[in-house]
Structure 1
Amino acid sequence: MKIKITLFIAVLICQVSFSQEKDTTAVNKLSEVVVTGQFEPQSIKKSVFNVRVISSQDIQNLAANNLADVLNQYLNITVRPSSTSGRSTVSLFGLDAQYFKILVDNVPLVNEVGLGNNTDLSQINLNDVDHIEIVEGSMGVTYGANAVSGVLNIITKKSSKYKWAITASVQEETIGDEYSLFKEGRHIQSLKVSHTFNKNWFVSLGANRNDFQGYLNDKNGIDYSENDGTRGYRWLPKDQLNGTALIAYHKDNFRFFYKFEYLDENVDYYNSTVQSGFNPILGAYRYADDKRYLTNRYFHNLNATGKLFSQLNYNVSLSHQKQQRDVEDFKYYLASKKEENNATVKDQSMEVLYSTGTLNNFFSDKTVDLQLGYEFVNNKGFSLVQEASNKLTPIGKTLENYDFFASSEIMATERFSIRPGLRFSAQSRFNNQFASSIGLRYLFDKGVELRGSYGNGFRTPNFEELYSKQIFDGHFFVGNENLIPETSASYESSLKKTTTFSSGLQMSNTLSGSYLNVDDRIDMALIRFNPDTGNPEYQYINISKYRVWNFSTMNQFKKDNFTLNIGAAVIGVSQKIENQVFVSDDKFLYSFNLNASFSYMIPKWNTTFSGYYKYNGKTQQYIEGSSSYILSKVDPGNWLDVSIRKNFFKNQLEVTVGARNIFDITNVTQTGTNQAAGHAAPGEVMLAYGRSYFLKLAYNLNL
């Protein structure tokens, strides 16, 4: 291990990279301005919604390459990785990624199973991100279907103060205690070139490669030939390539930008089962049935903002996106270390035409503003489903919705503002849906801000819930084309106080509470036991109810170059889960989580020390047993990341060294057994691949 760490450091010291110099003035200015859910960019203080901001400085301190690297640290948010698919999704308030919408510059991001939801966090590169905004609670009026528990909006960079800026960086990272130059660890390289032609035109091009070599842990890798269940990887190897391009124009009140993004991802799955064969030529041989997931995403977004008739503000986006996942099956022969019989099929895809637009500033009287908007969505989905007798059948469907919404912002007094809104959604596949909301904000004396909101929204069934089929060897799991959209209602309130002391200490304290209720929740449920075979059969049905309340506090202390954040949250979740045979208890189950972070900059050394801590308390949920729902418990866990970031040569060279997951968390124990389908529930929940160390080098070339 010492030899590997020495090699790890030596490799980095020998590499040269370039990175854009940070404009700290611009960062500080932008961090005070939010756009999510607003009529136009404005300060956090003026926002009716309680918006959380993840700054570019936080992203730099964490040496974060994708969204999963960042969100582990935040209250009420849980990142859920999968060892079988290589995907990482987000859970907020215990609700999975179907209820939480992820946007890029206010446009939902496509994936192979949906638009804006079920997004793989590890596929979202942060190389071109200015900051991230999070709003908790129902945002159905502004962002439509599936924005039930909240939205996350990634704001990308669209300008530079330099005529030419060349950014290239390299990052090396251990995976647990595994690292080597080519076969182990995580290897990241990025390059970005931007050019400001004049005060009107700006262009940028970027590329990023993330080479994750997988995590062995107790596995023995690809070439292990014994059939004892230890072949393969605990975390799947993954190779990602991201490319971005941007062109932006700005003159007077008119702005437009076109953004293109391309993702190419390969995830390798190596079967733990080793099989034996024989033929007269080769004699006895061993092989494994392996597969490779091949994902491609294209993202086009054209946005224009300006004025009509010298008064009306318009903001229009037009987007074409497609993400497709193919599966390549092959036999891997262990003696020759060769792949044969490779066959690739299209597994899942989603192609989307999307447009949204708003008009506001109808009145010269600034005490009242009205916003009118639309959203048009055309989703072309595809999935390869497995029917009886192992027959694979392609399914292609188109889902459309045409939405219109109106919202008003009323400044009843200089201190008190009201924000009502209403959305109508015409659905091609379901009954028409509605969403409504009202937000209130009152500014007291001495820096006290009070906010409250109510919103109701809806979640439409996704492609898998409607059309999926897995029927094989006594297994029967199917979708349901008769599903109806879920409906939800949420209530949020927050009290915030900002205080500045004569000593220079700035203190911000926020206390918030929320309640969310989801009806007609869709679950995979036991519908019957087959009368001929006695096997259980499962189908997605509208049958469950979900309620959650949350109390949290977030506190920030800032003085000179030192910043400290401390937060805590208590969550209570009640679920009524039922199938055609039995029903769960719907009592509230409670959990607690805590987070803290600090950042300290020493100007004399031009060095920043930072740390990020998260405690996830014990969680409980009911899972289906053979004759009743059983209470399952997941043990608590602690997460700590630390880093040191130092700039050299007038901020041209930047070095960041740090450690992730210092408490060395891998899996946490889960109690309870799922016997309904003849399977035991996992005794452990996979969270991470243990303690890892990283070193990032960057050098700035600005002209």
Structure 2
Amino acid sequence: MNQAGSGMRLLLIVFLYMIIGKETLLAKSVVIADSSVVLTGIVYDSATRPLSGVQVKLTAPNGTLFNTTDEAGRFVFNGLKKQRVTLALSKAGYRSVYQQIDLNKATTKLHIQLISFASKLQQVVVTGTIEPVGLQKSIYRVRVIDHKAIERRHAADVLDVLRTITGVRLSTDQTLGETDISLLGMSGENIKVLLDGVPLLDRGATRNSLSQIDLHNIERIEIVEGPLSVMYGADALAGVINIITRRQAVDTSALKVPKLGRLGIDLNLLEQTAGKQYQLFDKQGQHNGNLSMHWQKGKVFADGSLTRNNFGRWQKKENAGKRTKDWLPKEQWLASGRVGFQGKKWTGWYRYQYLQEDIWSYGEVNPNTSTATDKEYLTDRTTELVNLSWTPKTDWHFNLDGSYQGYSRRTRTTTFNTETSVRNLIPDPALQEKSDFNSGFVRITGHRRMSERLEILTGIELAHEKGSGPRIEGEPSIDNYSLFLSGDYKPTSWMAIRPGLRFSKNSIYDAPPVIPALNAKFNLSHDLSVRLSYARGFRAPALRELYFWFFDANHSIKGNENLKAEYAHAYAASLSWHRFPAEGIQYTADWNIFYSDYRNRIELAIDPALGTNVYSYINLAKYKTLGTSLHGSLQKEGLHAGLGFSYIAKYNTYVDDEDYKDGHLPTFIWSPELSADLDYTFARPKLELSMQYKFTGTLSQYEIDEINGKQQAYLAKTASFNWLDFSLSKSLIKSLKLSVGVKNIFDITDINNTSMGGAEAHSTGGPLPLSYGRSYFVAVHWHWP
């Protein structure tokens, strides 16, 4: 028995030796005969940081080799032969990557990214960060609307995407055909709108730039609530909306590519009714079309797109037959192109964008002359962006962002004879107004990783803005120079602190000389974290507020060159929970509270020095906002569900007024919001159901009116409303998707409003226009190859 056991052990040893020896011979056979090829690579994580400890397996027809990445994320295979091999990269917690390589050169270099199971679900954000990081790791509380969420909304523009986001409210100026946005109770002039981190030019307080961006070029939208003035300067008082455009992914591996490079084409079509009104491709309804192309060969890439957005018009049933429209017809043409390169140390790109917009405002016919007076608002916007990044070493990074933007808006006033169909230009120069604005911007930053615990970011920023037009005195310009310093300090593995300072000098207004901020993040556990922040933000007076001059039969408004910048002290705290129990599953919850105290608030008010009926912009009132919000989400296989709630208070400006203290007015006036979105994809029939819902609560404010012969404060209200969209999408073939759906299911058009009207030029009391009612749409998306 013992001899049999010894024999069995001997046979087992011989068998293992044969197996091991055979594998060794096979491995050696990879490196024989023409063994002069070298394969090297660097492996990164989703934040483009080198990833160490990655197991790299190289398989050839005649053998296998193994390697592991070092601290710099590098691996090297020497002495290979020219042939096709397969690389398999794996690391615990990351999705494995398999890649075939043609070893047809003496040296082949690869750059490979591994995506963790968590970051596959979790967005990588860039707004306010020193470098791209996972959403959970960001020291700021960032809300992300990713490309998938944008797609399932089947929106006509960016404002349509933001419509059902908690904390965001839209308001439309029917006179000019423009829509503005508010965030956390603060209007558009307090919100910084960025395109790839570069501020967009707007002609006034309204953030009309949001409706003039090609939706099909957007990868995601990042929203940071609260002041970010250290990172982004003026106007980031209520928060920042950063629109990140889609970028062609450059594959620098040795995979065989077509001789002329890789080419991709996207086609998007959207046809939507305006309530019950619709005509195919033109006139009534929404008609959007987009063609996009992207190309890449080696380290060079390019992309371009052409988009037409057309809204015919909409008219209430009771106004049928009138020439005036309740929603003005609008047509946009948007074109863009970009070229760029991506290397090991240098990356860069240049983008050119052009917008032409035409909005028609039709007048009523004079029965005595059979003529009507029409106005046409013509907008031309050009945006040139450039980005250049240099990474000389793994712990050094430099970045340059630059832009030149031009904005021209012209009002063309004509008469139209309904009998002869003859249109004539009115010769009065006051009715043929044209305003021009342009801006130049440069930001240069340097990032140094001093150690695992300390990172430093320094930067300089130069901005120039100029405006001219009949309603602006002269041709004023504003120059701003800023230096900012920030950094991340991690004294322990569970705590990160980011202080920041911005020093600014402005050529016109009195900018705060120093803007401080302090943010901290504490990881209570692997899934639970707390964020605390303080920031001082400021809003620069706009050219309109400094130099506006408009006197006619209905308006008397004069700008004020002596305005000071608004500023705020903002405090916030949030508790975030992110749970990734298994691959493809994510649970999140986020609770936030905030308080902001604003001073030197710029308002339009009667200036006694100019007369009894002349309005001017003055630093008059203080203002405060207070609120809380709660957001949660669930993602599991084909299911995505989200729920949001906010309760936001706006300051009652009359509470400190001696004339109205006897009215026992409240200090804050609260308004709730509730939102929900649900998306489910059936894998086998490739069918996707999507729903977005939002309840917007009553918005109230105190106003002054004469009641019983006495000036008294009364509570004016804008009524609450519910909004619901639903869509169904089906992949017909691999590259073609068809979507149908209905928007504004509750058929909301106007909402009740008891306000007497504000001081703005086109603000009015009475019902407020919200939408053109329940609408139906069909959308087609085709991608090649």
- The verdict on a shared fold, with TM-score over 0.5 as the criterion, is yes
Looking at structure 2, the residues matched to 695 and 139 of structure 1 have their Cα atoms a distance apart, in angstroms, of 39
Equivalences for 1:404-553 in 2 at 5 Å? Answer: 404-433=483-512, 434-473=514-553, 475-500=555-580, 506-528=586-608, 536-553=613-630
Q: Give the alignment's TM-score, normalised by structure 2.
A: 0.79
Structure 2: state its 5+ residue gaps: 1-114, 252-260
| Cα pair 2:647 2:673 within 8 Å, conserved | yes
The code of the aligned residue for 2:373 comes to: D
CA distance, structure 2, for counterparts of residue 310 and residue 505 of structure 1: 33
In structure 2, what residue type is equivalent to 1:594?
A: L
Confirm or deny: 8 A CA contact 1:194 1:203 kept in the other structure.
Answer: yes
Amino acid at match of 1:491: Y
**1:283-335 Cα shifts (integer Å, max 9, x gaps):** xx311111100001000011011124664211111111011101111001111
3-state DSSP of counterpart to 1:395: coil
Aligned match of 2:784:
701
Which residue in 2 is equivalent to 1:643? 727
Please state whether the residue corresponding to 2:231 is helix, strand or coil.
Answer: helix
Q: Could you say which residue in structure 1 is the equivalent of 2:283? A: 183
Q: For 1:417-463, what per-residue CA distance to the aligned partner results, in whole angstroms no more than 9, with x for missing partners?
A: 00000001100002242211010001122510111111001111111
Moved more, 468-477 or 365-374: 468-477
Amino acid aligned to 1:442: F
Letter in 2 for 1:52: R
Query: CA distance change for structure 1 residues 212 and 678 in 2, over 3 Å: closer, same or farther?
Result: closer
The alpha-carbon distance between structure 1 residues 453 and 319, as it changes in their structure 2 partners (threshold 3 A), is same
Q: Which residue of 2 aligns with 1:7?
A: none
Does residue 663 in structure 1 map to residue 746 in structure 2? yes
Which deviates the most, 590-599 or 638-647?
Answer: 638-647
2:245 corresponds to which of 141, 156, 161: 156
* Matched ranges for 1:82-481 at <5 A: 82-113=173-204, 118-160=207-249, 163-181=262-280, 182-198=282-298, 200-218=299-317, 220=319, 230-272=322-364, 274-277=365-368, 285-308=369-392, 311-341=395-425, 345-363=432-450, 365-385=451-471, 395-433=474-512, 434-473=514-553, 475-481=555-561
Q: Structure 1 residues 334 and 68 mapped into 2: Cα distance closer, same or farther (>3 Å)? A: same
Whole-Å Cα distance in 2 between the matches of residues 321 and 314 of structure 1? 24
CA contact (8 A) 1:527 1:581 kept: no
Cα 1:677–1:239, aligned 2, differ >3 Å: closer, same or farther? closer
Q: Does the Cα contact within 8 Å between 1:65 and 1:127 map onto a contact in 2? A: no
AA in 2 matched with 1:510:
D
- Indicate how the Cα distance of structure 1 residues 312 and 678 shifts in structure 2: closer, same or farther if over 3 A, else same: closer
Paired amino acid for 1:327: T
1 CA distance for matches of 2:517 and 2:776?
A: 45
* Greater C-alpha Rg: 2
Matched-pair contact (CA < 8 Å) for 1:145–1:460: yes
Aligned counterparts of 1:628 and 1:269: Cα–Cα separation in 2: 38
Task: Tell me the amino acid that sits aligned with residue 465 of structure 1.
Answer: E
Match for residue 73 of structure 1 among 164, 168, 184 = 164
| C-alpha distance 335-560 of structure 1, shift in aligned 2 (>3 A) | same
After TM superposition, give the deviation of residue 58 of structure 1 in Å: 1.0
Q: Secondary structure in 1 aligned to 2:606?
A: strand
For 1:218 and 1:623, how far apart are their aligned partners in 2?
33
Query: Partners in 1 of 2:566 and 2:673 — Cα distance?
Result: 28
Structure 2 contact 511–564 (Cα < 8 Å) conserved? no
Contact 1:266-1:293 at 8 Å conserved across structures: yes
Contact (CA 8 Å) 1:557, 1:563: kept in 2 or not?
yes
Alpha carbons of 1:124 and 1:486: their partners in 2 closer, same or farther (altered >3 Å)? same
Aligned to 1:15: none
8 A contact 1:111–1:322 mirrored in 2: no
Whole-angstrom CA distance in 1 between matches of 2:583 and 2:294: 42
Q: Which has the higher contact order (CA 8 A, sep 6+)?
A: 1
Partners of 2:345 and 2:392 within 8 A in 1: no
**Residue from 132, 142, 148 that aligns with 1:41:** 132
155 and 349 in structure 1: CA distance in 2 versus 1, 3 angstrom threshold: same
Structure 2 counterpart of 1:374, one-letter code: I
Q: Which moved more, 1:231-240 or 1:682-691?
A: 682-691
Cα distance in 2 between the residues matched to 1:510 and 1:121:
27
Q: Determine the C-alpha separation between the residues in 2 that align with 1:74 and 1:112.
A: 25
Q: C-alpha displacement at 1:346, in angstroms?
A: 4.5
Q: Distance in 2 between matches of 1:157 and 1:502?
A: 29
In structure 1, what residue type is equivalent to 2:783? N
Q: Work out the CA distance in 2 between the residues paired with 1:69 and 1:450.
A: 32
Alpha-carbon distance change, 586 to 549 in structure 1, aligned in 2, over 3 angstroms? same
**Aligned partners of 1:133 and 1:675: how far apart in 2?**
31
Taking the aligned partners of 2:578 and 2:716, their CA distance within structure 1 comes to 41
Find the aligned partners of 1:449 and 1:50 in 2 and give their Cα distance.
Answer: 11
Amino acid at match of 1:381: G
- Distance in 1 between residues matched to 2:166 and 2:210, nearest whole Å: 17
Q: 2:773 aligns with which of 674, 690, 698?
A: 690
Contact 2:604 2:759 in 1 (8 A): no
Q: CA deviation at 1:476?
A: 2.1
Aligned mates of 1:85, 1:512 — CA distance in 2: 36
Would you say the 8 A contact 1:528–1:580 is kept in 2?
A: no
Aligned partner of 2:98 in structure 1 is none
Alpha carbons of 1:641 and 1:506: their partners in 2 closer, same or farther (altered >3 Å)? same
SS at match of 1:172: strand
Paired with 2:355 and 2:500, the residues of 1 have a C-alpha distance of 36
What is the CA distance between 1:413 and its match in structure 2? Answer: 0.7
Task: Name the CA shift for 1:503/1:382 in 2 (closer, same or farther; >3 Å).
Answer: closer
Alignment of 1:611-650 (within 5 A): 611-625=691-705, 627-650=711-734
What's the RMSD between the two structures over aligned residues?
A: 2.6
- Paired amino acid for 2:596: L
Per the normalisation by structure 1, the TM-score is: 0.87
Structure 1: gaps (5+ residues): 1-24, 225-229, 278-284, 386-392
Residue pair 1:219, 1:233 contacting (<8 A) in 2 also: no
Counterpart-to-counterpart distance in 2, 1:201 and 1:262:
23
Distance 1:26 1:299 in 2: 36
Task: Give the deviation of 1:220 after TM superposition.
Answer: 4.9
SS at 1:536 equivalent = coil
The size of the alignment, in residue pairs, is: 648
Does the 8 A contact of 1:576 with 1:586 survive in 2?
no
**2:509–2:562 CA contact under 8 A, matched in 1:** no
* C-alpha spacing 1:564/1:676, structure 2 compared with 1 (3 Å): closer
1:559 equivalent to 2:636? Answer yes
CA contact 1:561–1:600 (8 Å) conserved in 2: yes
Quote how far apart the aligned CAs of 1:505 are.
5.4
Any idea what SS the aligned residue of 1:112 has?
Answer: coil
Contact 2:200/2:209 (<8 A) preserved: no
Task: Determine the C-alpha separation between the residues in 2 that align with 1:647 and 1:474.
Answer: 55
For residues 394 and 454 of structure 1, do their structure 2 counterparts lie closer, same or farther at Cα, with a shift above 3 Å needed?
closer
